[in-house]
C-alpha cells in the first residue's frame, strides 16, 4: 500500500512569489493535515482538511491557504513568499474521525531566496 | 492550550548504552501522547502512542514510554541503542483533533 506522497521534493522560490505544494493521502484516508517544520521552531500545525472542507487552521497568516480535491489530495499555497517561509512542509493523512492516527509523507523542502 | 516540552535539544549516547528522552506536557485531563522519529531527509514515523490504559507503552524498534500523570511526563526509553537510532525524536500531544509537537531532541550515537 502506498504511503503519503508529496511533490515536489524541493522547491526554490524568490521572495514575493507563490509556491504550490501537493499531497496525496493514503488510499481510503479522507483527512489531510499540513505542518510547517522551520529551523528552530519545530513542527507547527498549519491546516486540516476533511471531506473537502477546511476543519481547522493553525496560527498562520491568510497567505497560507489550501484546498482538498474530490479525490482527497490536497494543495498548499503560500502567497507573497517571505524568507522565513523557508521550511520543510509535511503532509499527513488519516481516516475521517481519527485525527490522532496520522501518517506522514516525506515532506517538501521550500527554500525562499 | 496544551504544550509539550522536550528539555534536551541534543543527546549523545554510546552504541549499546541505554537511552531516555524526556518529555513533559501540560494538560488538565488524560492526554493523548505520542512519540515520533524523524530520520534525516525523512518524514515522521510513529514510534508509539498512549491513549489510555496501561501506563507503560511498547512501540516499534524496541522503544517504550511510560506515562506518569503525577509528573506530567511521557519519557521514551530504549535499553540498548543502535547506530541506526540516530535521528530526531518528537514528543507530541493530541488536542482538539490536531497534534501539537515538542521542538524535538536530536539523538547522536557514538560508535
Side-chain half-sphere exposure of B84, counting CA atoms within 13 A: 2
Q: How far is residue A107 CA from its own chain's centroid? A: 8
pLDDT along chain A (113 residues), means of 10: 92 98 96 93 92 93 97 98 96 91 94 98
Residues of A within 8 A of B98 (CB-CB) are 33, 45, 48, 56, 58, 99
Whether residue A104 and residue B97 make contact (CB cut-off 8 A), yes or no, is no
Q: Is B54 on the interface with A (CB under 8 A)?
A: no
pLDDT value of position B82:
96
Q: What single string gives the DSSP state of each residue in B16-45?
A: TS-EEE--EEE-SSPPEEEEEEE-TT--EE
For the stretch A56-80, pLDDT in tens is 999 999 999 999 999 999 999 999 9
Whether residue B94 and residue A100 make contact (CB cut-off 8 A), yes or no, is yes
Side-chain half-sphere exposure of A82, counting CA atoms within 13 A: 7
pLDDT value of position A97:
84
Indicate if the alpha-carbon torsion angle B94, B98, B102, B105 is positive or negative: positive
Amino acid at each position: 500500500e502506498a504511503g503519503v506522497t508529496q511533490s515536489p521534493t524541493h522547491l526554490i522560490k524568490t521572495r514575493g512569489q507563490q509556491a504550490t505544494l501537493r499531497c496525496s493521502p493514503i488510499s481510503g484516508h479522507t483527512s489531510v493535515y499540513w505542518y510547517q517544520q522551520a529551523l528552530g521552531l519545530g513542527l507547527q500545525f498549519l491546516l486540516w482538511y476533511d471531506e473537502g472542507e477546511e476543519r481547522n487552521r493553525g496560527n498562520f497568516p491568510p497567505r497560507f491557504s489550501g484546498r482538498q480535491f474530490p479525490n482527497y489530495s490536497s494543495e498548499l499555497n503560500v502567497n507573497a513568499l517571505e524568507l522565513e517561509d523557508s521550511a520543510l512542509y509535511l503532509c499527513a493523512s488519516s481516516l475521517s474521525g481519527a485525527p490522532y492516527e496520522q501518517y506522514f509523507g516525506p515532506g517538501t523542502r521550500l527554500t525562499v531566496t | 492550550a496544551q504544550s509539550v516540552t522536550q528539555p534536551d535539544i541534543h543527546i549523545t549516547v554510546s552504541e549499546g548504552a541505554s537511552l531516555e528522552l524526556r518529555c513533559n506536557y501540560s494538560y488538565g485531563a488524560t492526554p493523548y501522547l505520542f512519540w515520533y522519529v524523524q530520520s534525516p531527509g525523512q518524514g515522521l514515523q510513529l514510534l508509539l502512542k498512549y491513549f489510555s490504559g496501561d501506563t507503560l507503552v511498547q512501540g516499534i524498534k524496541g522503544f517504550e514510554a511510560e506515562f506518569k500523570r503525577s509528573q506530567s511526563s511521557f519519557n521514551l526509553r530504549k535499553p540498548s541503542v543502535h547506530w541506526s537510532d540516530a535521528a530526531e525524536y518528537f514528543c507530541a500531544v493530541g488536542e482538539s483533533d490536531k497534534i501539537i509537537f515538542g521542538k524535538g531532541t536530536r539523538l547522536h550515537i557514538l560508535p
